[in-house]
Structure 1
Amino acid sequence: MIVCTFNARTLASDASIEDLMVQARMIKYDIIGLTETRRHESHHAVFDTGEELFLGTCDKRGVGGVGVLVNTNLAKSIDSFECLTTRIGRLHLNRCGSLPAVSIFIVYTPTSHYDEREIEKFYMELEKFYKEDHTFYKIIVGDFNAKIGPRRSAEELHIGTHGLEWNEQGERLSEFIMSTKTIHGNSQF
Protein backbone atom coordinates (compact mmCIF):
# COMPACT_ATOMS: atom_id res chain seq x y z
CA MET A 1 0.00 0.00 0.00
CA ILE A 2 1.42 3.38 -1.00
CA VAL A 3 0.37 6.05 1.51
CA CYS A 4 1.43 9.65 0.83
CA THR A 5 0.80 12.98 2.45
CA PHE A 6 0.31 16.37 0.85
CA ASN A 7 0.07 19.83 2.42
CA ALA A 8 -2.47 21.31 0.03
CA ARG A 9 -2.36 24.89 1.41
CA THR A 10 -6.01 25.08 0.33
CA LEU A 11 -8.67 22.90 -1.22
CA ALA A 12 -11.42 25.44 -0.66
CA SER A 13 -12.33 25.88 -4.33
CA ASP A 14 -13.40 23.51 -7.10
CA ALA A 15 -10.37 24.66 -9.13
CA SER A 16 -7.95 23.64 -6.36
CA ILE A 17 -9.64 20.22 -6.08
CA GLU A 18 -9.42 19.78 -9.85
CA ASP A 19 -5.71 20.64 -9.72
CA LEU A 20 -5.21 18.10 -6.91
CA MET A 21 -6.84 15.38 -9.01
CA VAL A 22 -4.70 16.19 -12.05
CA GLN A 23 -1.52 16.05 -9.95
CA ALA A 24 -2.55 12.89 -8.07
CA ARG A 25 -3.18 10.99 -11.28
CA MET A 26 0.46 11.59 -12.28
CA ILE A 27 1.82 9.58 -9.35
CA LYS A 28 1.37 6.06 -8.06
CA TYR A 29 -0.62 6.15 -4.81
CA ASP A 30 -3.26 4.27 -2.90
CA ILE A 31 -4.01 6.93 -0.29
CA ILE A 32 -3.02 10.58 -0.01
CA GLY A 33 -3.51 12.23 3.38
CA LEU A 34 -4.35 15.90 2.84
CA THR A 35 -3.51 18.68 5.27
CA GLU A 36 -4.17 22.40 5.47
CA THR A 37 -7.25 22.10 3.28
CA ARG A 38 -8.78 25.31 4.68
CA ARG A 39 -12.36 24.37 3.82
CA HIS A 40 -15.24 25.94 5.70
CA GLU A 41 -17.62 23.14 4.71
CA SER A 42 -16.92 19.42 4.57
CA HIS A 43 -16.84 17.79 1.15
CA HIS A 44 -17.18 14.24 -0.17
CA ALA A 45 -16.83 13.35 -3.83
CA VAL A 46 -16.71 10.14 -5.83
CA PHE A 47 -15.09 10.69 -9.22
CA ASP A 48 -15.85 8.92 -12.50
CA THR A 49 -12.57 7.04 -12.09
CA GLY A 50 -13.76 5.59 -8.77
CA GLU A 51 -11.45 7.71 -6.61
CA GLU A 52 -12.99 9.09 -3.42
CA LEU A 53 -12.19 12.40 -1.78
CA PHE A 54 -13.12 13.32 1.79
CA LEU A 55 -12.39 16.81 3.13
CA GLY A 56 -13.07 18.11 6.62
CA THR A 57 -13.34 21.70 7.76
CA CYS A 58 -10.86 24.23 9.12
CA ASP A 59 -11.23 26.20 12.34
CA LYS A 60 -12.90 29.63 12.69
CA ARG A 61 -9.62 31.36 11.80
CA GLY A 62 -9.42 29.48 8.47
CA VAL A 63 -6.55 27.31 9.73
CA GLY A 64 -6.20 23.56 9.38
CA GLY A 65 -8.50 21.08 7.79
CA VAL A 66 -7.60 17.51 6.88
CA GLY A 67 -8.85 15.06 4.30
CA VAL A 68 -7.97 12.01 2.29
CA LEU A 69 -7.93 10.94 -1.34
CA VAL A 70 -8.40 7.21 -1.88
CA ASN A 71 -7.47 5.58 -5.17
CA THR A 72 -9.93 3.41 -7.08
CA ASN A 73 -8.36 0.09 -6.05
CA LEU A 74 -8.98 0.79 -2.32
CA ALA A 75 -12.26 2.72 -2.55
CA LYS A 76 -14.29 -0.47 -2.08
CA SER A 77 -12.49 -1.04 1.25
CA ILE A 78 -13.54 2.30 2.79
CA ASP A 79 -15.51 1.86 5.97
CA SER A 80 -15.52 5.50 7.06
CA PHE A 81 -13.69 8.80 7.19
CA GLU A 82 -14.20 11.13 10.11
CA CYS A 83 -12.68 14.39 11.21
CA LEU A 84 -11.93 13.97 14.88
CA THR A 85 -10.79 17.61 15.12
CA THR A 86 -9.94 20.27 12.52
CA ARG A 87 -6.36 18.91 12.65
CA ILE A 88 -6.92 15.15 13.00
CA GLY A 89 -8.84 12.85 10.65
CA ARG A 90 -9.19 9.08 10.53
CA LEU A 91 -9.85 6.78 7.58
CA HIS A 92 -11.00 3.24 8.39
CA LEU A 93 -10.45 0.60 5.73
CA ASN A 94 -12.13 -2.79 6.03
CA ARG A 95 -10.25 -5.98 5.38
CA CYS A 96 -10.28 -6.76 1.67
CA GLY A 97 -8.54 -9.81 0.21
CA SER A 98 -4.96 -9.86 1.47
CA LEU A 99 -5.28 -6.27 2.79
CA PRO A 100 -5.95 -6.24 6.54
CA ALA A 101 -8.20 -3.70 8.24
CA VAL A 102 -6.29 -0.43 8.66
CA SER A 103 -6.84 2.92 10.37
CA ILE A 104 -5.00 5.83 8.82
CA PHE A 105 -4.73 9.04 10.83
CA ILE A 106 -4.15 12.25 8.89
CA VAL A 107 -2.73 15.06 11.02
CA TYR A 108 -1.76 18.69 10.71
CA THR A 109 0.28 19.77 13.73
CA PRO A 110 0.35 23.40 14.86
CA THR A 111 3.62 25.13 13.98
CA SER A 112 6.18 26.23 16.57
CA HIS A 113 4.67 29.73 16.39
CA TYR A 114 1.63 28.47 18.30
CA ASP A 115 1.36 28.56 22.06
CA GLU A 116 2.90 25.49 23.72
CA ARG A 117 -0.47 24.67 25.31
CA GLU A 118 -2.12 24.37 21.89
CA ILE A 119 0.66 22.09 20.62
CA GLU A 120 0.43 19.97 23.77
CA LYS A 121 -3.38 19.76 23.40
CA PHE A 122 -2.96 18.54 19.81
CA TYR A 123 -0.59 15.74 20.84
CA MET A 124 -2.80 14.74 23.78
CA GLU A 125 -5.81 14.47 21.47
CA LEU A 126 -3.85 12.51 18.86
CA GLU A 127 -2.54 10.10 21.49
CA LYS A 128 -6.05 9.62 22.92
CA PHE A 129 -7.57 8.89 19.48
CA TYR A 130 -4.66 6.61 18.56
CA LYS A 131 -4.93 4.56 21.76
CA GLU A 132 -8.74 4.36 21.59
CA ASP A 133 -8.62 2.97 18.04
CA HIS A 134 -8.59 -0.82 18.25
CA THR A 135 -7.58 -1.54 14.66
CA PHE A 136 -4.44 -3.70 14.69
CA TYR A 137 -2.73 -1.82 11.85
CA LYS A 138 -2.52 1.95 12.31
CA ILE A 139 -0.67 4.52 10.22
CA ILE A 140 -0.21 8.21 11.00
CA VAL A 141 0.65 10.57 8.13
CA GLY A 142 0.58 14.30 7.78
CA ASP A 143 2.39 17.54 8.30
CA PHE A 144 3.99 17.45 11.74
CA ASN A 145 5.84 20.74 11.21
CA ALA A 146 8.82 18.96 12.76
CA LYS A 147 12.35 18.00 11.87
CA ILE A 148 13.58 14.63 13.06
CA GLY A 149 17.22 13.95 12.37
CA PRO A 150 19.09 10.66 12.47
CA ARG A 151 19.00 8.30 15.43
CA ARG A 152 21.22 9.75 18.17
CA SER A 153 21.53 6.70 20.39
CA ALA A 154 20.96 2.96 20.27
CA GLU A 155 17.87 3.43 22.48
CA GLU A 156 16.10 5.52 19.83
CA LEU A 157 14.94 2.49 17.88
CA HIS A 158 11.68 4.32 17.07
CA ILE A 159 13.63 6.74 14.85
CA GLY A 160 14.90 5.92 11.36
CA THR A 161 18.59 6.14 10.50
CA HIS A 162 18.20 8.95 7.96
CA GLY A 163 17.54 12.61 8.57
CA LEU A 164 19.36 15.90 8.60
CA GLU A 165 18.61 17.77 11.82
CA TRP A 166 16.36 18.03 14.86
CA ASN A 167 14.20 20.92 16.05
CA GLU A 168 12.00 21.44 19.10
CA GLN A 169 8.92 20.15 17.27
CA GLY A 170 10.93 17.05 16.32
CA GLU A 171 11.70 16.45 19.99
CA ARG A 172 7.96 16.66 20.78
CA LEU A 173 7.13 14.27 17.95
CA SER A 174 9.79 11.86 19.22
CA GLU A 175 8.15 11.92 22.68
CA PHE A 176 4.79 11.10 21.08
CA ILE A 177 6.34 8.24 19.12
CA MET A 178 7.86 6.77 22.27
CA SER A 179 4.66 7.14 24.32
CA THR A 180 2.56 5.38 21.67
CA LYS A 181 5.25 2.78 20.87
CA THR A 182 5.08 3.64 17.19
CA ILE A 183 7.89 3.95 14.66
CA HIS A 184 8.91 7.01 12.66
CA GLY A 185 9.55 6.00 9.07
CA ASN A 186 12.10 8.05 7.24
CA SER A 187 10.64 11.29 5.92
CA GLN A 188 11.04 12.63 2.43
CA PHE A 189 10.32 16.16 1.33
Structure 2
Amino acid sequence: MRWSIIGLSEVRREGEDTVILESGNLFYHREGDHLSQGGVGFIVHKSLVNNVVKIGSVSTRVAYLILRISKRYSLKVIQVYAPTSAHPDEEVEEMYEDISKAMHSSKTHYTVLMGDFNAKLGTRESGELKLRKFGAGQRNRRGQQLADFMEKEGLFMMNSFFQKRPHRKWTWSSPRRFDKK
Protein backbone atom coordinates (compact mmCIF):
# COMPACT_ATOMS: atom_id res chain seq x y z
CA MET A 1 0.00 0.00 0.00
CA ARG A 2 1.33 3.44 -0.90
CA TRP A 3 0.75 6.36 1.43
CA SER A 4 2.04 9.86 2.07
CA ILE A 5 0.09 11.17 5.07
CA ILE A 6 -2.06 9.13 7.40
CA GLY A 7 -4.52 10.94 9.67
CA LEU A 8 -5.07 9.34 13.06
CA SER A 9 -8.11 9.34 15.35
CA GLU A 10 -8.28 7.68 18.77
CA VAL A 11 -4.51 8.03 19.17
CA ARG A 12 -4.65 7.28 22.92
CA ARG A 13 -1.26 8.80 23.74
CA GLU A 14 -0.48 11.15 26.57
CA GLY A 15 0.52 14.74 25.85
CA GLU A 16 1.45 16.30 22.52
CA ASP A 17 4.63 15.31 20.70
CA THR A 18 6.35 15.07 17.33
CA VAL A 19 8.74 12.15 16.91
CA ILE A 20 10.83 10.83 14.05
CA LEU A 21 10.39 7.06 14.17
CA GLU A 22 13.14 4.52 13.45
CA SER A 23 11.64 4.12 9.98
CA GLY A 24 12.29 7.83 9.32
CA ASN A 25 8.54 8.59 9.27
CA LEU A 26 7.22 11.46 11.38
CA PHE A 27 4.65 10.73 14.09
CA TYR A 28 2.66 13.58 15.64
CA HIS A 29 -0.02 13.14 18.30
CA ARG A 30 -2.19 15.16 20.64
CA GLU A 31 -3.99 13.43 23.50
CA GLY A 32 -7.77 13.46 23.88
CA ASP A 33 -9.93 15.08 26.54
CA HIS A 34 -9.35 12.21 28.95
CA LEU A 35 -6.04 10.57 29.71
CA SER A 36 -5.31 7.88 27.10
CA GLN A 37 -8.65 8.36 25.29
CA GLY A 38 -9.40 10.04 21.98
CA GLY A 39 -6.83 12.30 20.43
CA VAL A 40 -5.68 13.05 16.88
CA GLY A 41 -2.43 12.84 14.99
CA PHE A 42 -0.53 12.14 11.79
CA ILE A 43 2.06 9.84 10.37
CA VAL A 44 4.02 11.54 7.57
CA HIS A 45 6.06 9.43 5.16
CA LYS A 46 9.81 9.87 5.48
CA SER A 47 10.03 11.20 1.91
CA LEU A 48 7.91 14.23 2.98
CA VAL A 49 9.31 14.93 6.45
CA ASN A 50 11.56 17.75 5.21
CA ASN A 51 8.55 19.39 3.51
CA VAL A 52 6.57 19.79 6.74
CA VAL A 53 6.40 23.52 7.43
CA LYS A 54 4.19 23.44 10.51
CA ILE A 55 2.37 20.88 12.60
CA GLY A 56 0.09 21.45 15.54
CA SER A 57 -3.40 21.31 16.94
CA VAL A 58 -6.26 23.65 17.66
CA SER A 59 -7.85 21.28 20.17
CA THR A 60 -7.87 17.65 21.26
CA ARG A 61 -10.16 16.93 18.29
CA VAL A 62 -8.51 18.97 15.51
CA ALA A 63 -4.88 18.82 14.35
CA TYR A 64 -3.28 20.19 11.20
CA LEU A 65 -0.08 20.16 9.27
CA ILE A 66 1.20 22.37 6.48
CA LEU A 67 3.27 20.76 3.78
CA ARG A 68 5.33 22.61 1.17
CA ILE A 69 4.62 20.96 -2.18
CA SER A 70 6.59 23.43 -4.32
CA LYS A 71 8.17 26.87 -3.96
CA ARG A 72 4.80 28.41 -4.76
CA TYR A 73 2.24 25.97 -3.32
CA SER A 74 1.51 24.49 0.07
CA LEU A 75 -1.05 22.01 1.36
CA LYS A 76 -2.85 22.10 4.69
CA VAL A 77 -4.13 18.76 5.99
CA ILE A 78 -6.59 18.89 8.86
CA GLN A 79 -7.37 15.74 10.87
CA VAL A 80 -10.62 15.59 12.86
CA TYR A 81 -12.05 13.24 15.44
CA ALA A 82 -15.67 14.26 16.04
CA PRO A 83 -17.66 13.50 19.19
CA THR A 84 -20.04 10.56 18.96
CA SER A 85 -23.81 10.98 19.17
CA ALA A 86 -23.55 10.34 22.93
CA HIS A 87 -21.89 13.76 23.31
CA PRO A 88 -23.86 17.02 23.51
CA ASP A 89 -24.37 19.20 20.41
CA GLU A 90 -22.29 21.96 22.01
CA GLU A 91 -19.17 19.77 21.69
CA VAL A 92 -19.87 19.23 17.99
CA GLU A 93 -20.38 22.96 17.42
CA GLU A 94 -17.12 23.68 19.27
CA MET A 95 -15.33 21.13 17.05
CA TYR A 96 -16.59 22.87 13.88
CA GLU A 97 -15.35 26.20 15.28
CA ASP A 98 -11.96 24.56 15.86
CA ILE A 99 -11.93 23.27 12.27
CA SER A 100 -12.65 26.79 11.01
CA LYS A 101 -9.77 28.11 13.11
CA ALA A 102 -7.44 25.50 11.62
CA MET A 103 -8.65 26.26 8.08
CA HIS A 104 -8.16 30.00 8.40
CA SER A 105 -5.06 30.08 10.64
CA SER A 106 -2.50 30.03 7.80
CA LYS A 107 -3.12 30.62 4.13
CA THR A 108 -2.31 27.68 1.87
CA HIS A 109 -3.18 26.96 -1.73
CA TYR A 110 -4.85 23.62 -0.99
CA THR A 111 -6.72 22.28 2.05
CA VAL A 112 -7.74 18.70 2.79
CA LEU A 113 -10.10 18.06 5.69
CA MET A 114 -10.28 14.43 6.78
CA GLY A 115 -10.99 12.21 9.73
CA ASP A 116 -13.78 10.57 11.66
CA PHE A 117 -16.81 12.86 11.64
CA ASN A 118 -19.16 10.34 13.29
CA ALA A 119 -21.85 11.42 10.83
CA LYS A 120 -23.84 9.97 7.94
CA LEU A 121 -24.03 12.37 5.01
CA GLY A 122 -26.17 10.01 2.98
CA THR A 123 -27.16 10.80 -0.58
CA ARG A 124 -27.30 14.20 -2.24
CA GLU A 125 -30.31 16.35 -1.49
CA SER A 126 -31.78 18.76 -4.04
CA GLY A 127 -29.76 21.90 -4.60
CA GLU A 128 -26.60 20.66 -2.90
CA LEU A 129 -23.45 21.34 -4.85
CA LYS A 130 -20.79 20.09 -2.44
CA LEU A 131 -22.09 16.52 -2.39
CA ARG A 132 -22.46 14.46 -5.56
CA LYS A 133 -24.68 11.55 -6.48
CA PHE A 134 -22.59 8.67 -5.16
CA GLY A 135 -23.26 9.07 -1.44
CA ALA A 136 -24.72 6.19 0.56
CA GLY A 137 -27.56 5.67 3.00
CA GLN A 138 -29.76 8.09 4.90
CA ARG A 139 -28.45 11.37 6.32
CA ASN A 140 -28.58 11.75 10.09
CA ARG A 141 -28.63 14.96 12.17
CA ARG A 142 -24.84 15.06 12.56
CA GLY A 143 -24.58 14.47 8.80
CA GLN A 144 -26.73 17.55 8.22
CA GLN A 145 -24.41 19.59 10.46
CA LEU A 146 -21.46 18.37 8.38
CA ALA A 147 -23.27 19.21 5.11
CA ASP A 148 -24.08 22.72 6.41
CA PHE A 149 -20.46 23.23 7.48
CA MET A 150 -19.17 22.08 4.08
CA GLU A 151 -21.51 24.49 2.31
CA LYS A 152 -20.47 27.39 4.57
CA GLU A 153 -16.73 26.71 4.11
CA GLY A 154 -16.87 25.82 0.40
CA LEU A 155 -15.75 22.21 0.92
CA PHE A 156 -16.55 19.20 -1.27
CA MET A 157 -17.23 15.64 -0.05
CA MET A 158 -14.91 13.95 -2.49
CA ASN A 159 -16.00 10.37 -1.71
CA SER A 160 -19.39 11.18 -3.19
CA PHE A 161 -17.85 12.12 -6.57
CA PHE A 162 -16.74 8.56 -7.38
CA GLN A 163 -18.88 5.51 -7.94
CA LYS A 164 -17.97 2.61 -5.68
CA ARG A 165 -19.40 -0.83 -5.04
CA PRO A 166 -21.97 -0.77 -2.21
CA HIS A 167 -19.72 -2.66 0.24
CA ARG A 168 -17.00 0.02 -0.22
CA LYS A 169 -19.23 2.99 0.67
CA TRP A 170 -19.00 2.65 4.43
CA THR A 171 -16.18 2.13 6.90
CA TRP A 172 -17.87 0.99 10.10
CA SER A 173 -21.05 -0.76 11.14
CA SER A 174 -22.63 -0.59 14.56
CA PRO A 175 -22.57 -3.90 16.45
CA ARG A 176 -26.20 -3.20 17.41
CA ARG A 177 -27.19 -3.28 13.75
CA PHE A 178 -27.37 -7.08 13.92
CA ASP A 179 -29.32 -7.33 17.19
CA LYS A 180 -32.64 -9.16 16.86
CA LYS A 181 -34.37 -6.84 19.33
> Same fold, TM exceeding 0.5?
yes
Partner of 1:33: 7
Partner of 2:136: 164
Amino acid at match of 1:164: A
TM-score normalised by structure 2 residue count: 0.81
Partner of 2:111: 138
Partner of 2:179: none
Following superposition, the deviation at residue 61 of structure 1 comes to 5.5
Amino acid at match of 1:123: Y
Number of residues of Structure 1 aligned to a counterpart in Structure 2: 161
Following superposition, the deviation at residue 33 of structure 1 comes to 0.4
Q: Say whether 1:175 aligns with 2:148.
A: yes
Q: In the alignment, is the contact (CA less than 8 A) between 1:131 and 1:180 conserved in 2?
A: no
- Structure with the greater alpha carbon radius of gyration: 2
Distance in 2 between residues matched to 1:77 and 1:168, nearest whole Å:
38
Aligned pairs (5 A) from 1:142-153: 142-153=115-126
Q: In the alignment, is the contact (CA less than 8 A) between 2:7 and 2:114 conserved in 1?
A: yes
Aligned pairs (5 A) from 1:40-55: 40-55=14-29
TM-score normalised by structure 1 residue count: 0.78
Q: Using the TM superposition, name which of 170-179 and 38-47 deviates more.
A: 38-47
* Identity among equivalent pairs (%): 30
Following superposition, the deviation at residue 29 of structure 1 comes to 0.7
Distance in 1 between residues matched to 2:87 and 2:35, nearest whole Å:
13
Following superposition, the deviation at residue 149 of structure 1 comes to 1.4
Q: Alignment partner of 1:76: what SS?
A: helix
Following superposition, the deviation at residue 62 of structure 1 comes to 4.3
For residues 45 and 132 of structure 1, do their structure 2 counterparts lie closer, same or farther at Cα, with a shift above 3 Å needed?
A: closer
Q: Residues 128-177 of structure 1, C-alpha deviation per residue, up to 9 Å, x if partnerless?
A: 33233311211111000011112122x21101321222111111100100
For residues 61 and 119 of structure 1, do their structure 2 counterparts lie closer, same or farther at Cα, with a shift above 3 Å needed?
A: farther
Distance in 1 between residues matched to 2:41 and 2:35, nearest whole Å:
18
